[in-house]
Amino acid sequence: MLEFHKKKPKNPSKTEPEKRIKDFQEIYSQFGKNDSVEQSSRCSQCGIPYCQIHCPLNNNIPDWLRYIAEGRLEEAYQVSASTNAFPEVCGRVCPQDRLCEGNCVVEQAGFGAITIGNLEKYLTEIAWEKGWVRNLSSQNQYKQKVAIIGSGPAGMAASAYLTQNGYQVDVFEKNDRAGGLMIYGIPNFKLDKKIVERRTEWLTESGVTFNLNTEVGKNISFQDLEKDYDAILIATGVYKARQLDIDTSSVNNSIPALDFLIESNRTGLGDSPSKNKYLTAKDKHVVVIGGGDTAMDCVRTAIRQQAKEVTCLYRRNKENMPGSAREVLNAEQEGIKFNWLSVPSKIISDSSTATSMTYKVATLGEVDESGRRKPIDTGVEKQIKSDLIIQALGFEPEDLNHNFKTNIELTSWKTVKVDFKKFQTNNPKIFAAGDIVRGASLVVWAIHDGREVAKSIHNFLQNSKIKKAS
Ligand code: FAD
Ligand code: SF4
Ligand code: SF4
Protein backbone atom coordinates (compact mmCIF):
# COMPACT_ATOMS: atom_id res chain seq x y z
CA MET A 1 0.00 0.00 0.00
CA LEU A 2 1.00 3.70 0.09
CA GLU A 3 2.35 3.44 -3.45
CA PHE A 4 0.71 6.68 -4.56
CA HIS A 5 3.97 8.53 -4.92
CA LYS A 6 5.52 5.79 -7.10
CA LYS A 7 2.55 4.77 -9.24
CA LYS A 8 0.52 7.14 -11.34
CA PRO A 9 -3.29 7.15 -11.16
CA LYS A 10 -4.87 5.28 -14.01
CA ASN A 11 -8.38 4.64 -15.23
CA PRO A 12 -9.35 1.93 -17.70
CA SER A 13 -9.18 3.04 -21.32
CA LYS A 14 -12.00 5.05 -22.82
CA THR A 15 -13.20 4.45 -26.38
CA GLU A 16 -12.02 7.23 -28.72
CA PRO A 17 -14.70 9.90 -29.31
CA GLU A 18 -14.95 9.30 -33.10
CA LYS A 19 -15.61 5.62 -32.47
CA ARG A 20 -17.85 5.87 -29.40
CA ILE A 21 -20.35 8.27 -30.96
CA LYS A 22 -21.20 5.58 -33.50
CA ASP A 23 -22.97 3.42 -30.93
CA PHE A 24 -24.46 3.35 -27.43
CA GLN A 25 -21.93 1.01 -25.83
CA GLU A 26 -20.40 1.94 -22.45
CA ILE A 27 -17.35 4.09 -23.13
CA TYR A 28 -15.07 2.86 -20.34
CA SER A 29 -13.42 -0.55 -20.44
CA GLN A 30 -12.64 -2.45 -17.25
CA PHE A 31 -9.46 -2.84 -15.21
CA GLY A 32 -7.54 -6.08 -15.59
CA LYS A 33 -5.98 -7.91 -12.64
CA ASN A 34 -2.57 -6.18 -12.74
CA ASP A 35 -4.00 -2.67 -13.02
CA SER A 36 -6.48 -3.30 -10.23
CA VAL A 37 -3.72 -4.46 -7.87
CA GLU A 38 -1.47 -1.56 -8.86
CA GLN A 39 -4.19 1.07 -8.48
CA SER A 40 -5.51 -0.25 -5.14
CA SER A 41 -2.01 -0.33 -3.73
CA ARG A 42 -1.78 3.45 -4.20
CA CYS A 43 -4.17 3.92 -1.25
CA SER A 44 -2.54 5.32 1.87
CA GLN A 45 -5.00 3.53 4.21
CA CYS A 46 -6.02 6.71 6.01
CA GLY A 47 -6.97 6.51 9.67
CA ILE A 48 -9.79 8.92 8.94
CA PRO A 49 -10.74 7.98 5.36
CA TYR A 50 -12.30 11.01 3.71
CA CYS A 51 -13.28 8.85 0.74
CA GLN A 52 -15.54 6.80 3.03
CA ILE A 53 -16.94 9.85 4.83
CA HIS A 54 -17.94 11.36 1.48
CA CYS A 55 -19.45 8.17 0.09
CA PRO A 56 -23.22 8.37 0.76
CA LEU A 57 -23.18 4.64 1.60
CA ASN A 58 -20.20 5.02 3.89
CA ASN A 59 -18.52 2.17 2.00
CA ASN A 60 -15.49 0.73 3.77
CA ILE A 61 -13.24 1.72 0.87
CA PRO A 62 -9.78 1.41 2.49
CA ASP A 63 -10.46 -2.19 3.56
CA TRP A 64 -11.63 -3.42 0.17
CA LEU A 65 -8.81 -1.58 -1.58
CA ARG A 66 -6.31 -3.39 0.63
CA TYR A 67 -7.96 -6.74 -0.06
CA ILE A 68 -7.81 -6.11 -3.82
CA ALA A 69 -4.13 -5.17 -3.55
CA GLU A 70 -3.51 -8.40 -1.61
CA GLY A 71 -5.42 -10.50 -4.16
CA ARG A 72 -8.15 -11.36 -1.62
CA LEU A 73 -10.93 -10.54 -4.04
CA GLU A 74 -13.78 -12.55 -2.54
CA GLU A 75 -13.25 -10.91 0.85
CA ALA A 76 -13.00 -7.52 -0.86
CA TYR A 77 -16.33 -8.17 -2.55
CA GLN A 78 -18.00 -9.26 0.72
CA VAL A 79 -16.90 -6.02 2.41
CA SER A 80 -17.99 -3.90 -0.54
CA ALA A 81 -21.39 -5.63 -0.87
CA SER A 82 -22.07 -5.38 2.86
CA THR A 83 -22.94 -1.69 2.50
CA ASN A 84 -23.92 -1.40 -1.16
CA ALA A 85 -26.72 -3.38 -2.82
CA PHE A 86 -25.51 -2.55 -6.35
CA PRO A 87 -21.78 -1.64 -6.29
CA GLU A 88 -21.31 -2.23 -10.03
CA VAL A 89 -23.96 0.43 -10.72
CA CYS A 90 -22.34 2.99 -8.41
CA GLY A 91 -18.90 2.24 -9.87
CA ARG A 92 -20.34 3.30 -13.22
CA VAL A 93 -22.67 6.23 -12.47
CA CYS A 94 -21.60 7.91 -9.23
CA PRO A 95 -20.09 11.36 -9.78
CA GLN A 96 -16.93 10.17 -8.02
CA ASP A 97 -15.23 13.53 -8.66
CA ARG A 98 -17.71 15.09 -6.22
CA LEU A 99 -17.89 12.16 -3.77
CA CYS A 100 -15.31 9.51 -2.80
CA GLU A 101 -12.52 10.33 -5.27
CA GLY A 102 -12.85 14.09 -5.04
CA ASN A 103 -12.23 13.84 -1.29
CA CYS A 104 -9.42 11.28 -1.37
CA VAL A 105 -6.40 12.72 0.47
CA VAL A 106 -4.07 11.52 -2.26
CA GLU A 107 -6.05 13.69 -4.69
CA GLN A 108 -5.91 16.61 -2.27
CA ALA A 109 -2.15 16.15 -1.97
CA GLY A 110 -1.81 16.50 -5.75
CA PHE A 111 -0.97 12.89 -6.67
CA GLY A 112 -4.32 12.07 -8.33
CA ALA A 113 -7.18 10.22 -6.60
CA ILE A 114 -7.31 6.49 -6.07
CA THR A 115 -9.61 5.37 -8.90
CA ILE A 116 -12.23 4.01 -6.51
CA GLY A 117 -15.23 3.89 -8.87
CA ASN A 118 -13.50 1.78 -11.49
CA LEU A 119 -12.08 -0.53 -8.82
CA GLU A 120 -15.58 -1.00 -7.38
CA LYS A 121 -16.88 -1.84 -10.85
CA TYR A 122 -14.00 -4.28 -11.49
CA LEU A 123 -14.50 -6.03 -8.16
CA THR A 124 -18.23 -6.56 -8.61
CA GLU A 125 -17.92 -7.73 -12.20
CA ILE A 126 -15.37 -10.33 -11.02
CA ALA A 127 -17.81 -11.32 -8.26
CA TRP A 128 -20.54 -11.96 -10.85
CA GLU A 129 -18.12 -13.91 -13.03
CA LYS A 130 -16.97 -16.09 -10.13
CA GLY A 131 -20.47 -16.72 -8.77
CA TRP A 132 -19.93 -14.82 -5.51
CA VAL A 133 -23.13 -12.81 -6.01
CA ARG A 134 -25.51 -15.35 -4.54
CA ASN A 135 -29.29 -15.20 -4.42
CA LEU A 136 -30.61 -13.65 -1.23
CA SER A 137 -31.87 -15.98 1.44
CA SER A 138 -33.11 -15.55 4.98
CA GLN A 139 -33.32 -17.65 8.12
CA ASN A 140 -36.61 -15.93 8.91
CA GLN A 141 -39.84 -16.43 7.01
CA TYR A 142 -42.15 -13.70 8.26
CA LYS A 143 -45.76 -13.71 7.14
CA GLN A 144 -45.78 -9.92 6.99
CA LYS A 145 -45.95 -8.41 3.53
CA VAL A 146 -44.41 -5.19 2.23
CA ALA A 147 -45.60 -3.34 -0.88
CA ILE A 148 -43.03 -1.17 -2.65
CA ILE A 149 -44.31 1.39 -5.15
CA GLY A 150 -41.61 2.04 -7.75
CA SER A 151 -38.73 -0.14 -8.94
CA GLY A 152 -35.95 2.46 -9.21
CA PRO A 153 -32.74 2.07 -7.20
CA ALA A 154 -34.51 3.05 -3.94
CA GLY A 155 -37.29 0.46 -4.39
CA MET A 156 -34.90 -2.20 -5.67
CA ALA A 157 -32.41 -1.73 -2.84
CA ALA A 158 -35.18 -1.80 -0.22
CA SER A 159 -36.62 -4.96 -1.80
CA ALA A 160 -33.21 -6.67 -1.51
CA TYR A 161 -32.75 -5.88 2.18
CA LEU A 162 -36.36 -6.72 3.12
CA THR A 163 -36.17 -10.06 1.29
CA GLN A 164 -32.91 -10.78 3.07
CA ASN A 165 -34.72 -10.09 6.34
CA GLY A 166 -37.42 -12.66 5.49
CA TYR A 167 -40.39 -10.53 4.39
CA GLN A 168 -42.63 -11.07 1.38
CA VAL A 169 -41.95 -8.19 -0.97
CA ASP A 170 -44.18 -7.13 -3.85
CA VAL A 171 -42.96 -4.30 -6.07
CA PHE A 172 -45.52 -2.34 -8.11
CA GLU A 173 -44.11 -0.62 -11.18
CA LYS A 174 -46.06 1.40 -13.71
CA ASN A 175 -43.56 0.79 -16.50
CA ASP A 176 -43.09 -2.41 -18.46
CA ARG A 177 -39.53 -2.86 -17.15
CA ALA A 178 -38.04 -2.58 -13.68
CA GLY A 179 -35.16 -0.23 -12.85
CA GLY A 180 -36.69 3.28 -12.81
CA LEU A 181 -34.33 5.90 -14.19
CA MET A 182 -31.53 3.31 -14.33
CA ILE A 183 -33.41 1.67 -17.19
CA TYR A 184 -35.31 4.52 -18.89
CA GLY A 185 -33.34 7.67 -17.91
CA ILE A 186 -29.58 7.04 -17.78
CA PRO A 187 -28.30 6.20 -21.29
CA ASN A 188 -26.69 2.87 -22.13
CA PHE A 189 -23.30 4.48 -22.78
CA LYS A 190 -23.12 5.30 -19.04
CA LEU A 191 -24.88 2.24 -17.67
CA ASP A 192 -25.43 -0.81 -19.85
CA LYS A 193 -29.02 -1.98 -19.48
CA LYS A 194 -27.83 -5.57 -19.04
CA ILE A 195 -26.31 -4.52 -15.70
CA VAL A 196 -29.73 -3.39 -14.46
CA GLU A 197 -31.57 -6.39 -15.93
CA ARG A 198 -29.11 -8.75 -14.25
CA ARG A 199 -30.01 -7.20 -10.86
CA THR A 200 -33.76 -7.45 -11.59
CA GLU A 201 -33.32 -11.16 -12.38
CA TRP A 202 -31.27 -11.62 -9.21
CA LEU A 203 -34.02 -10.03 -7.12
CA THR A 204 -36.72 -12.07 -8.86
CA GLU A 205 -34.79 -15.30 -8.28
CA SER A 206 -34.35 -14.24 -4.66
CA GLY A 207 -38.12 -14.05 -4.20
CA VAL A 208 -39.10 -10.44 -4.96
CA THR A 209 -42.29 -10.20 -7.05
CA PHE A 210 -42.29 -7.43 -9.65
CA ASN A 211 -45.78 -6.40 -10.78
CA LEU A 212 -44.99 -4.50 -13.96
CA ASN A 213 -47.44 -2.32 -15.92
CA THR A 214 -49.17 -1.67 -12.60
CA GLU A 215 -49.60 1.98 -11.77
CA VAL A 216 -50.69 2.59 -8.20
CA GLY A 217 -53.58 5.05 -8.25
CA LYS A 218 -54.71 3.74 -11.65
CA ASN A 219 -54.43 -0.05 -12.06
CA ILE A 220 -54.52 -0.70 -8.33
CA SER A 221 -55.56 1.69 -5.58
CA PHE A 222 -53.31 2.82 -2.76
CA GLN A 223 -56.16 1.97 -0.40
CA ASP A 224 -56.12 -1.68 -1.57
CA LEU A 225 -52.41 -1.82 -0.79
CA GLU A 226 -53.13 -0.43 2.66
CA LYS A 227 -55.63 -3.24 3.25
CA ASP A 228 -53.41 -6.02 1.94
CA TYR A 229 -49.95 -5.09 3.20
CA ASP A 230 -48.35 -4.58 6.61
CA ALA A 231 -46.14 -1.73 5.38
CA ILE A 232 -45.92 0.36 2.21
CA LEU A 233 -42.86 2.04 0.75
CA ILE A 234 -43.35 4.91 -1.69
CA ALA A 235 -40.31 5.10 -4.00
CA THR A 236 -41.87 6.75 -7.02
CA GLY A 237 -39.16 9.26 -7.95
CA VAL A 238 -39.77 12.75 -9.37
CA TYR A 239 -40.94 13.16 -12.95
CA LYS A 240 -42.62 16.53 -13.46
CA ALA A 241 -40.35 18.40 -15.89
CA ARG A 242 -39.47 22.02 -15.01
CA GLN A 243 -40.66 24.40 -17.71
CA LEU A 244 -38.77 27.03 -19.69
CA ASP A 245 -39.64 30.65 -18.93
CA ILE A 246 -40.72 31.12 -22.55
CA ASP A 247 -43.87 29.55 -23.97
CA THR A 248 -43.14 26.56 -26.20
CA SER A 249 -46.64 25.10 -26.31
CA SER A 250 -47.32 26.26 -29.88
CA VAL A 251 -44.53 24.13 -31.40
CA ASN A 252 -44.32 20.36 -31.57
CA ASN A 253 -40.53 20.01 -31.74
CA SER A 254 -39.69 21.37 -28.29
CA ILE A 255 -39.75 18.35 -26.00
CA PRO A 256 -38.94 17.40 -22.39
CA ALA A 257 -35.58 15.65 -21.88
CA LEU A 258 -37.07 12.50 -20.44
CA ASP A 259 -39.40 11.90 -23.42
CA PHE A 260 -36.31 11.98 -25.62
CA LEU A 261 -34.20 9.74 -23.38
CA ILE A 262 -36.98 7.22 -22.73
CA GLU A 263 -37.53 6.81 -26.47
CA SER A 264 -33.80 6.32 -27.05
CA ASN A 265 -33.52 3.79 -24.22
CA ARG A 266 -36.62 1.94 -25.40
CA THR A 267 -35.36 1.54 -28.96
CA GLY A 268 -31.97 0.48 -27.56
CA LEU A 269 -33.77 -2.22 -25.60
CA GLY A 270 -35.37 -3.47 -28.82
CA ASP A 271 -38.80 -1.78 -28.72
CA SER A 272 -40.24 -0.42 -31.98
CA PRO A 273 -39.51 3.28 -32.53
CA SER A 274 -42.32 5.69 -31.69
CA LYS A 275 -44.31 7.24 -34.53
CA ASN A 276 -43.55 10.67 -33.07
CA LYS A 277 -40.78 11.93 -35.39
CA TYR A 278 -39.77 14.66 -32.93
CA LEU A 279 -38.39 12.12 -30.47
CA THR A 280 -35.26 11.46 -32.50
CA ALA A 281 -32.33 13.75 -33.33
CA LYS A 282 -31.18 12.20 -36.60
CA ASP A 283 -30.23 14.83 -39.22
CA LYS A 284 -31.40 17.70 -37.00
CA HIS A 285 -29.87 20.83 -35.53
CA VAL A 286 -30.45 20.02 -31.89
CA VAL A 287 -30.44 22.56 -29.08
CA VAL A 288 -30.43 21.22 -25.52
CA ILE A 289 -31.29 23.72 -22.79
CA GLY A 290 -29.81 23.09 -19.34
CA GLY A 291 -26.48 22.43 -17.64
CA GLY A 292 -27.02 19.34 -15.50
CA ASP A 293 -26.31 15.66 -16.02
CA THR A 294 -29.64 15.14 -17.81
CA ALA A 295 -28.64 17.81 -20.35
CA MET A 296 -25.29 16.03 -20.87
CA ASP A 297 -27.13 12.74 -21.41
CA CYS A 298 -29.35 14.42 -24.02
CA VAL A 299 -26.53 16.04 -26.00
CA ARG A 300 -24.52 12.81 -26.01
CA THR A 301 -27.58 10.78 -27.05
CA ALA A 302 -28.36 13.26 -29.85
CA ILE A 303 -24.83 13.05 -31.28
CA ARG A 304 -25.07 9.25 -31.27
CA GLN A 305 -28.34 9.49 -33.17
CA GLN A 306 -26.44 11.32 -35.94
CA ALA A 307 -27.75 14.81 -35.36
CA LYS A 308 -26.29 17.37 -37.79
CA GLU A 309 -25.18 19.60 -34.95
CA VAL A 310 -25.74 19.57 -31.18
CA THR A 311 -25.50 22.69 -29.03
CA CYS A 312 -26.01 23.01 -25.30
CA LEU A 313 -27.34 26.38 -24.11
CA TYR A 314 -26.61 27.12 -20.47
CA ARG A 315 -27.38 30.36 -18.69
CA ARG A 316 -24.29 30.39 -16.46
CA ASN A 317 -20.65 29.58 -17.33
CA LYS A 318 -18.81 26.27 -17.32
CA GLU A 319 -17.50 26.68 -13.76
CA ASN A 320 -21.06 27.09 -12.49
CA MET A 321 -22.55 24.09 -14.25
CA PRO A 322 -24.38 21.79 -11.85
CA GLY A 323 -23.44 18.61 -13.78
CA SER A 324 -20.42 16.39 -13.29
CA ALA A 325 -17.18 17.80 -14.81
CA ARG A 326 -16.42 14.32 -16.16
CA GLU A 327 -19.63 14.26 -18.20
CA VAL A 328 -19.05 17.78 -19.58
CA LEU A 329 -15.57 16.71 -20.70
CA ASN A 330 -16.98 13.57 -22.36
CA ALA A 331 -19.54 15.71 -24.20
CA GLU A 332 -16.90 18.21 -25.35
CA GLN A 333 -14.74 15.38 -26.65
CA GLU A 334 -17.72 14.03 -28.58
CA GLY A 335 -18.13 17.26 -30.50
CA ILE A 336 -20.91 19.02 -28.60
CA LYS A 337 -20.91 22.82 -28.84
CA PHE A 338 -21.46 24.75 -25.61
CA ASN A 339 -22.94 28.22 -25.61
CA TRP A 340 -22.35 29.41 -22.06
CA LEU A 341 -24.13 32.42 -20.57
CA SER A 342 -27.07 31.98 -22.94
CA VAL A 343 -30.66 32.50 -21.81
CA PRO A 344 -33.40 31.36 -24.29
CA SER A 345 -35.68 34.26 -25.19
CA LYS A 346 -37.93 33.34 -28.13
CA ILE A 347 -38.87 30.44 -30.39
CA ILE A 348 -39.07 31.22 -34.10
CA SER A 349 -41.43 28.87 -35.88
CA ASP A 350 -42.85 28.01 -39.24
CA SER A 351 -46.51 27.26 -38.37
CA SER A 352 -46.24 24.70 -35.53
CA THR A 353 -42.58 23.75 -35.99
CA ALA A 354 -39.67 25.64 -34.46
CA THR A 355 -36.94 26.48 -36.97
CA SER A 356 -34.66 28.47 -34.70
CA MET A 357 -34.56 30.21 -31.37
CA THR A 358 -33.11 33.38 -29.97
CA TYR A 359 -31.20 33.69 -26.73
CA LYS A 360 -29.90 36.58 -24.68
CA VAL A 361 -26.23 36.73 -23.85
CA ALA A 362 -25.75 37.07 -20.09
CA THR A 363 -23.00 38.05 -17.70
CA LEU A 364 -22.71 36.83 -14.12
CA GLY A 365 -23.85 39.03 -11.25
CA GLU A 366 -24.15 38.48 -7.49
CA VAL A 367 -24.56 35.06 -5.90
CA ASP A 368 -28.28 34.11 -5.72
CA GLU A 369 -30.26 31.86 -3.35
CA SER A 370 -28.86 28.75 -5.12
CA GLY A 371 -25.35 29.77 -4.05
CA ARG A 372 -24.29 30.46 -7.65
CA ARG A 373 -23.84 33.74 -9.48
CA LYS A 374 -26.99 35.02 -11.14
CA PRO A 375 -27.05 35.52 -14.94
CA ILE A 376 -27.73 39.15 -15.93
CA ASP A 377 -28.91 40.22 -19.39
CA THR A 378 -26.26 42.16 -21.40
CA GLY A 379 -28.83 43.30 -23.97
CA VAL A 380 -27.18 41.26 -26.75
CA GLU A 381 -29.47 38.77 -28.50
CA LYS A 382 -28.35 35.94 -30.82
CA GLN A 383 -30.12 33.34 -32.90
CA ILE A 384 -29.49 29.63 -33.34
CA LYS A 385 -30.93 27.18 -35.86
CA SER A 386 -32.93 24.52 -34.02
CA ASP A 387 -35.19 21.91 -35.48
CA LEU A 388 -35.26 19.96 -32.23
CA ILE A 389 -35.30 21.72 -28.85
CA ILE A 390 -34.80 19.55 -25.78
CA GLN A 391 -35.62 21.02 -22.39
CA ALA A 392 -33.47 19.60 -19.59
CA LEU A 393 -34.23 21.95 -16.70
CA GLY A 394 -34.72 19.44 -13.90
CA PHE A 395 -37.61 17.64 -12.27
CA GLU A 396 -40.16 18.20 -9.54
CA PRO A 397 -42.50 15.82 -7.73
CA GLU A 398 -45.93 15.17 -9.17
CA ASP A 399 -49.03 15.65 -7.02
CA LEU A 400 -48.76 12.45 -4.99
CA ASN A 401 -51.83 12.90 -2.81
CA HIS A 402 -53.95 13.63 -5.85
CA ASN A 403 -52.64 10.53 -7.68
CA PHE A 404 -52.98 8.23 -4.67
CA LYS A 405 -56.09 9.85 -3.12
CA THR A 406 -54.22 10.04 0.15
CA ASN A 407 -53.41 12.62 2.75
CA ILE A 408 -49.71 12.04 3.28
CA GLU A 409 -47.81 14.99 4.73
CA LEU A 410 -45.67 16.72 2.10
CA THR A 411 -42.99 19.41 2.26
CA SER A 412 -43.45 22.83 0.64
CA TRP A 413 -41.54 21.37 -2.35
CA LYS A 414 -44.18 18.59 -2.64
CA THR A 415 -41.66 15.91 -1.71
CA VAL A 416 -42.85 13.42 0.91
CA LYS A 417 -42.13 14.56 4.45
CA VAL A 418 -40.43 11.83 6.46
CA ASP A 419 -38.60 11.40 9.69
CA PHE A 420 -35.09 11.51 8.20
CA LYS A 421 -33.75 8.65 10.30
CA LYS A 422 -36.71 6.32 9.87
CA PHE A 423 -37.98 7.40 6.45
CA GLN A 424 -41.45 7.10 7.98
CA THR A 425 -44.31 9.40 6.98
CA ASN A 426 -47.01 10.85 9.22
CA ASN A 427 -48.81 7.51 8.77
CA PRO A 428 -46.59 4.99 10.65
CA LYS A 429 -47.32 2.20 8.18
CA ILE A 430 -46.23 4.28 5.18
CA PHE A 431 -42.58 4.95 4.36
CA ALA A 432 -40.90 6.86 1.53
CA ALA A 433 -37.39 6.89 0.06
CA GLY A 434 -35.27 8.10 -2.85
CA ASP A 435 -35.99 11.10 -5.08
CA ILE A 436 -39.59 11.43 -3.85
CA VAL A 437 -38.10 12.39 -0.47
CA ARG A 438 -34.90 14.20 -1.54
CA GLY A 439 -35.99 15.76 -4.82
CA ALA A 440 -33.95 14.86 -7.93
CA SER A 441 -30.74 13.36 -6.58
CA LEU A 442 -28.37 10.46 -7.29
CA VAL A 443 -28.58 6.70 -7.68
CA VAL A 444 -26.20 6.22 -4.75
CA TRP A 445 -28.48 8.24 -2.44
CA ALA A 446 -31.49 6.21 -3.58
CA ILE A 447 -29.60 2.99 -2.75
CA HIS A 448 -28.69 4.48 0.62
CA ASP A 449 -32.31 5.35 1.34
CA GLY A 450 -33.45 1.88 0.24
CA ARG A 451 -31.02 0.31 2.69
CA GLU A 452 -31.98 2.58 5.59
CA VAL A 453 -35.74 2.43 5.03
CA ALA A 454 -35.57 -1.38 4.96
CA LYS A 455 -34.04 -1.34 8.45
CA SER A 456 -36.74 1.01 9.62
CA ILE A 457 -39.58 -1.07 8.10
CA HIS A 458 -38.07 -4.16 9.76
CA ASN A 459 -38.12 -2.42 13.18
CA PHE A 460 -41.67 -1.24 12.61
CA LEU A 461 -42.90 -4.72 11.62
CA GLN A 462 -41.12 -6.43 14.49
CA ASN A 463 -42.65 -3.97 16.96
CA SER A 464 -46.13 -4.45 15.48
CA LYS A 465 -45.71 -8.22 15.88
CA ILE A 466 -44.80 -7.81 19.53
CA LYS A 467 -47.78 -5.49 20.04
CA LYS A 468 -50.13 -8.00 18.39
CA ALA A 469 -48.82 -10.90 20.48
CA SER A 470 -49.12 -9.03 23.81
P1 FAD B 1 -36.65 6.40 -9.92
O2 FAD B 1 -35.39 5.84 -10.42
O3 FAD B 1 -37.23 7.55 -10.62
O4 FAD B 1 -37.73 5.23 -9.90
C5 FAD B 1 -39.06 5.47 -9.56
C6 FAD B 1 -39.93 4.37 -10.17
O7 FAD B 1 -41.26 4.50 -9.68
C8 FAD B 1 -40.03 4.46 -11.69
O9 FAD B 1 -39.73 3.21 -12.26
C10 FAD B 1 -41.49 4.87 -11.94
O11 FAD B 1 -42.00 4.35 -13.15
C12 FAD B 1 -42.17 4.25 -10.74
N13 FAD B 1 -43.45 4.85 -10.41
C14 FAD B 1 -43.73 6.19 -10.29
N15 FAD B 1 -45.04 6.36 -9.95
C16 FAD B 1 -45.58 5.12 -9.85
C17 FAD B 1 -46.89 4.63 -9.54
N18 FAD B 1 -47.88 5.46 -9.25
N19 FAD B 1 -47.08 3.30 -9.54
C20 FAD B 1 -46.08 2.43 -9.84
N21 FAD B 1 -44.84 2.84 -10.15
C22 FAD B 1 -44.58 4.16 -10.14
N23 FAD B 1 -27.80 9.65 -10.87
C24 FAD B 1 -26.52 9.25 -10.73
O25 FAD B 1 -26.11 8.93 -9.63
N26 FAD B 1 -25.68 9.18 -11.81
C27 FAD B 1 -26.09 9.48 -13.05
O28 FAD B 1 -25.31 9.40 -14.00
C29 FAD B 1 -27.43 9.89 -13.24
N30 FAD B 1 -27.89 10.18 -14.47
C31 FAD B 1 -29.19 10.55 -14.61
C32 FAD B 1 -29.66 10.80 -15.88
C33 FAD B 1 -30.98 11.19 -16.06
C34 FAD B 1 -31.46 11.45 -17.45
C35 FAD B 1 -31.84 11.34 -14.95
C36 FAD B 1 -33.24 11.82 -15.15
C37 FAD B 1 -31.38 11.08 -13.69
C38 FAD B 1 -30.06 10.68 -13.50
N39 FAD B 1 -29.57 10.38 -12.23
C40 FAD B 1 -28.27 9.97 -12.10
C41 FAD B 1 -30.44 10.46 -11.04
C42 FAD B 1 -30.94 9.07 -10.62
O43 FAD B 1 -31.33 8.33 -11.75
C44 FAD B 1 -32.09 9.19 -9.62
O45 FAD B 1 -31.66 9.99 -8.54
C46 FAD B 1 -32.51 7.82 -9.09
O47 FAD B 1 -32.88 6.96 -10.13
C48 FAD B 1 -33.69 7.97 -8.11
O49 FAD B 1 -34.10 6.71 -7.72
P50 FAD B 1 -35.58 6.45 -7.19
O51 FAD B 1 -35.65 4.97 -6.94
O52 FAD B 1 -35.90 7.36 -6.10
O53 FAD B 1 -36.55 6.84 -8.39
FE1 SF4 C 1 -17.61 6.19 -4.57
FE2 SF4 C 1 -20.17 5.94 -5.23
FE3 SF4 C 1 -18.73 3.78 -4.75
FE4 SF4 C 1 -19.39 5.42 -2.76
S5 SF4 C 1 -20.77 4.18 -3.96
S6 SF4 C 1 -17.39 4.47 -3.14
S7 SF4 C 1 -19.35 7.41 -3.78
S8 SF4 C 1 -18.40 5.22 -6.41
FE1 SF4 D 1 -7.22 5.54 0.42
FE2 SF4 D 1 -7.82 8.00 -0.56
FE3 SF4 D 1 -9.53 6.73 1.01
FE4 SF4 D 1 -7.26 7.65 2.04
S5 SF4 D 1 -8.93 8.90 1.21
S6 SF4 D 1 -8.20 5.65 2.44
S7 SF4 D 1 -5.89 7.33 0.30
S8 SF4 D 1 -8.85 6.06 -1.01
**How far is 107 from 92, CA to CA, in rounded Å?**
20
Binding site membership of 384 for ligand 2 (Cβ less than 6 Å): no
- Sheet arrangement for strand 337-339: 254-256, 388-391, 285-289, 309-313, 337-339
Determine which residue's CA is closest to atom 5 belonging to ligand 3: 104
Asked if 90 contacts 447 with a C-beta cutoff of 8 angstroms, the reply is yes
Contacts of 369 (CB under 8 A, 6+ apart): none
pLDDT in tens, 89-125: 999 999 999 999 999 998 988 999 999 999 999 999 9
Beta bridge partners of 311: 287, 337
Q: Rounded distance, CA 64 to CA 68, Å?
A: 6
Spatial CA neighbour of 469 closest among 143, 173, 175: 143
d(CA 191, CA 196): 8
Q: Which ligand is nearest to the CA of 295?
A: 1
Please give the distance of CA 166 from its chain centroid, rounded to a whole number: 28
d(CA 7, CA 112): 10
Taking residue 14's Cβ as centre, other Cβ atoms within 10 Å add up to 13
pLDDT at 395: 93
Q: Is 99 in the pocket of ligand 2 (CB under 6 A)?
A: yes
User: HSE (CB half, 13 Å, CA atoms) of 281?
Assistant: 27
- Would you say the pTM of this structure is higher than 0.85? yes
pLDDT at 469: 63
Ligand nearest to the CA of 3: 3
Distance (Å, rounded) from C-alpha 247 to C-alpha 357? 12
> Which residues, at least 6 apart from 470, have a Cβ–Cβ distance to it below 8 Å?
none
Residue 223 pLDDT class (50, 70, 90 cuts): very high
Q: Which residues line ligand 1 (CB under 6 A)?
A: 93-94, 149-155, 172-175, 180-182, 185-186, 190, 215-217, 235-237, 261, 293-294, 297, 403, 434-435, 441-444, 446
Domains along the chain with CATH numbers = 17-130 (1.10.1060.10), 145-238+397-469 (3.50.50.60), 240-391 (3.50.50.60)
The Cα 79–Cα 336 span in angstroms is 40
Which CA distances in Å does 73 have to 6, 21, 45, 59?
A: 23, 34, 17, 16
Distance in Å, CA 382 to ligand 1 centroid: 35
- For residue 302, what pLDDT is reported? 98
Q: What are the tens digits of pLDDT across the range 122-142?
A: 999 999 999 999 999 888 888
Residues 13, 17, 22, 26, CA torsion sign: positive
Q: Is 43 in the pocket of ligand 3 (CB under 6 A)?
A: yes
Q: How far apart are CA 99 and CA 53, in angstroms?
A: 9
Amino acid at 348: I
**Is the four-CA dihedral 73, 76, 81, 84 of positive or negative sign?**
negative
Give the pLDDT of residue 470.
59
pLDDT for the residue numbered 369? 77
Q: Report the residue count for the chain.
A: 470
pLDDT, one tens digit per residue, over 154-164 is 999 999 999 99
Mean pLDDT in residue range 424-450: 97
